[in-house]
Structure 1
Amino acid sequence: MKKWLLAASLIISAGFLAACGGSDESSKGESGKEKVVIGYFPNIDHVPAMVAREKGYYEKALGENVEVEYKTFPDGGTFMTALKSGDIDAGLVGPAPVMNNFSNGADVKVLAGASSGGTVVVASEKSGIDSLEDIEGKTFITPGIGCTHDVQFETYLMDLGMDKLASARIGGSLKHVTGNPAQYQGMFESGQVDLAAVPEPWASTLIEAGAKEIISTDEIAYGQTLPNTVLAANGKLVKENKEVAEALVKAQQEAVDFINNNKEEAQTIAIQAIKDLTKQELDKNLVAKSMDRINYTTEINEEVLKQFAQSSFELEFLKEEPELAGLVDTSFLN
C-alpha cells in the first residue's frame, strides 16, 4: 500500500504531496485523507491504545492531514495476519506472535513496550483443581496457540520438569484449546475447559465469578519482566515512513504517561472501551484491581524477549532456533 509513503509528506506539507501525483484510492479514508490503521485487543494490557484513541493522541501526533482508523482483534494470530497484509499499519499485540512471525520471515518491527505483567492462570470451580498437582489430564485454554500467555504458562510447566504436566502437543497430558477471553466464563460454566492462562481483566473477572487462582502474575514465567504487550508495526512502514513511526511511538508514550498519572480516568476509559467492544460492563473495582497487576511502560528489555523466544523454540512453537536481530527498533523512543 502506498499510504505509508505519502503520510509523512502529508504531515510535512499537503502541497508537496500534490506535487508527488496522488495516491492509490485504497489507502484513503472516507474523508479523502491518507489513512493509518491501528489495531488492539479488548484487554487491560491494551489500555494504552484505548487511552490514545479516546484522547486523540494518534490523531494529534500524525497531524490533521492523516485519518486514523481503529480495528480490534481477539488474538495475536489475527492481528499479525492483518499487520502482514497491510490491513493495519501498527498496534498493540503480545510479543510472542510478533517474534514467531518475524522468525518465519515476516517484515515486522517492535517499536516500544506497552505493558508488562497481568497474565494469570485460573481454574474453574467445576474442574476440581486446587493446585498444580491436580491439573494432569485437564483442558486449558489460551487466546491462541503459541500466544504470549500460552508460552508463559507452558514455560512455567516446562521448568517444573514433569513431563505429564505439558501440552499434549509436545507429549504431555494437557489438552489445549483456544478462544476469546471474553467467552471463558461461559466455557468454565459449561465444563468445556478447566484452566485458563488469561490476561486482565478476564483473570480478575473469572476469579470474581468463583475461579481459583493457580499461578499468579508474579509466579508465572516472565511474569513481571516480559513486555506483555508491545507496539508493533509493519517493517515497510518503519523503513519508508519514519515520521509516521515516530508519531505512533510519541502517541504511545503520551498514553502511558496519562495512565500512570491519571489512574481513575484511565480505568473509566478502559471500562467504556471494553463495554463498546464486548458488550460487557466491568466493575470499576475489578478493573482497578486488574490494572494494579500491570506495569504500563514503553520500555522494552530486548534480552528478555530473546529468552522468551528461546522458550517458544523449546516448546516447539518455532521450527528453528530464533534469530531476532533487527526485530526491535527503539530509535523512536525518547
Structure 2
Amino acid sequence: MKRFLSIIALAALSLVLAACGSSGEASGGDESGDGSKEITIGYFPNINHVAGMVAEEKDLYSETLPDGTTVKYQYFPDGSAFMTAIETGDIQGGLVGPGPAMNHFTSGAEINVVGAGSTGGTVIMARKDANIESPEDMKGKTFISPRVGCTHDVQFETMMKEEYGITSDRTGGEMKHVTGKPATYHSMFTTGNVDAATVPEPWASVIEEKGSGKVLVDTKDVAYGETLPAAVFVTSQDLVENKPDLVQSIVDGHKKATEFIQDNPAEAKEIAIKKIKEITDQELSASVIDNAWERINFTYEVDAEVLQEFANSSHDLEFLKEKPDLEGLVDTSFIE
C-alpha cells in the first residue's frame, strides 16, 4: 500500500472510507526502500477485530515476521473492500466477517481462512417507540444491516425465517431492508429512519448506553450467535501455497494478539478504545466496551463445519444463487 487511508471526522458516527493505492505482488508484499519486505494487514474498527488493533498497538507482527519486514495496516469500512484488497494483493492478510470471505470464495476468489478472530458480538436492537416488543412485531418494519448478505444480515434473516416465518422485501417478505454503517445506527434510531438493526458490537452497546434502542435479541439467541466466527483471518491461496513460512509468521502474530487479549482484557479494552478513536474519531466509553466484551469470545480457532452451515443459510435466503461448497476454504494447519 503506497498511501494511507483518509480518515474522515465522523459527525454522523460513520466509519472510515476505504481507499488504497496499488501494492506489491500478492505473493509477498512490497519491497520497501531498503530492500526489506513490506506486509500490510487489514481489519475493521469493530470490537470483533480487537486482535488487529492489539497486534498494531503492541507491534506483535514484528516479533514473528522475518527480520527486516515492515508491517503496515489498512482499515476497511466493509467486507467487500477488504476482500478486493486481498485478491489484488494490496494486503497480505487480516480480519473480515465470514460472510464476505465465503461469498468471494464461492465466486472464485483464491483465498483461505487460516484462523478466526472472535465469535459472537451480533445483537438485534429495536428502536424505542417502534412498537417492537418481540421478533414477531417485525412485520411491516424496517431493519438495517451493514450490507446486503453480510454476516449480521444472514444471522438475523436466518433467525427470522426459521423461527418466525418472516422474511425481507428482497424475497417478497414483510420486512423492509436497508443498509448503512453500524456507527450511524444510533443516529438513525434517533431520527426514526429505521425500526431495528442487526448490529455488530460495540455499536449495539452504544445504542443501549445512549438510550435510543433496546436489545430485541441478544447474541446467544441470534442464529449462529455463539458458534459462528464473527471475524476470520484471511490470506491468499497464493501465499499459502508459495510462501507458507510467511503465512505461518503472520498467523503466529495474530495468535499472539489473540492470546494477549485473553490474558490482558483490561489493557486490550484500553487499546480498543484508543484505536477506535484514532480510526473513526468516535470515543467509546469504558462501560460500552465492558458491555460489548461480554458478548464476544476472542479465539483463533475456526470450525469449517459451522462456516458451511452458515453458507447453506445464505443460499437458503437467496443471497447465493448456487448451493455453496466451501471445501478448500479453511486451512487450519497454521493454527494447529
Normalising by structure 2, what TM-score? 0.89
Task: Supply the distance in 2 between the matched residues of 1:307 and 1:288 (Cα, whole angstroms).
Answer: 30
User: Aligned residue for 2:104?
Assistant: 101
User: Aligned residue for 2:80?
Assistant: 77
1:301 aligns with 2:294: no
CA deviation map 1:5-31 (0-9, x unaligned): 457xxxxxxxxxxxxxxxxxxx23466
Task: Supply the distance in 2 between the matched residues of 1:84 and 1:302 (Cα, whole angstroms).
Answer: 21
DSSP-derived class of the 1:331 partner: helix
Q: Is the 8 A contact 1:112 1:230 kept in 2?
A: yes
DSSP-derived class of the 2:160 partner: helix
User: Aligned residue for 1:47?
Assistant: 50
Pick the structure with more helix per residue.
1
Percent of aligned pairs with the same amino acid: 48
- 1:111 Cα shift? 0.1
- 1:310 Cα shift? 0.3
User: Aligned residue for 1:232?
Assistant: 234
CA deviation map 1:203-228 (0-9, x unaligned): 11111112111111010000101111
Q: Is the 8 A contact 1:116 1:295 kept in 2?
A: yes
Give the letter aligned to residue 232 of structure 1.
V
Task: Supply the distance in 2 between the matched residues of 1:171 and 1:31 (Cα, whole angstroms).
Answer: 58
Q: Is the 8 A contact 1:51 1:269 kept in 2?
A: yes
2:255 to 233, 253, 256: 253
1:68 aligns with 2:71: yes
- 1:3 Cα shift? 4.4
DSSP-derived class of the 2:223 partner: coil
1:88 aligns with 2:91: yes
Give the letter aligned to residue 115 of structure 2.
A
DSSP-derived class of the 1:127 partner: coil
Task: Supply the distance in 1 between the matched residues of 2:44 and 2:85 (Cα, whole angstroms).
Answer: 13
Single out whichever of 129-138 and 240-249 deviates more from structure 2: 129-138
User: Aligned residue for 1:173?
Assistant: 174
DSSP-derived class of the 2:309 partner: helix
1:242 to 241, 244, 249: 244
Q: Is the 8 A contact 1:58 1:68 kept in 2?
A: yes
1:327 aligns with 2:290: no
Q: How many residue pairs get matched?
A: 313
Q: Is the 8 A contact 2:25 2:89 kept in 1?
A: no
1:151 aligns with 2:154: yes
- 1:2 Cα shift? 5.8
User: Aligned residue for 1:214?
Assistant: 216
Give unpaired runs (5+ residues) of structure 1.
Answer: 8-26
Task: Supply the distance in 1 between the matched residues of 2:28 and 2:192 (Cα, whole angstroms).
Answer: 52
User: Aligned residue for 2:267?
Assistant: 265
CA deviation map 1:214-265 (0-9, x unaligned): 1110100001011111101122121121112101110111111111110100
1:281 aligns with 2:283: yes
Task: Supply the distance in 2 between the matched residues of 1:155 and 1:169 (Cα, whole angstroms).
Answer: 14
1:186 aligns with 2:195: no
Task: Supply the distance in 2 between the matched residues of 1:192 and 1:28 (Cα, whole angstroms).
Answer: 48
CA deviation map 1:154-209 (0-9, x unaligned): 110111252xx211111112111111111111111122211110111001111111
User: Aligned residue for 1:17?
Assistant: none
- 1:75 Cα shift? 1.3
Give unpaired runs (5+ residues) of structure 2.
Answer: 1-22
CA deviation map 1:99-139 (0-9, x unaligned): 11111111110000110011000011242322213211111
Normalising by structure 1, what TM-score? 0.90
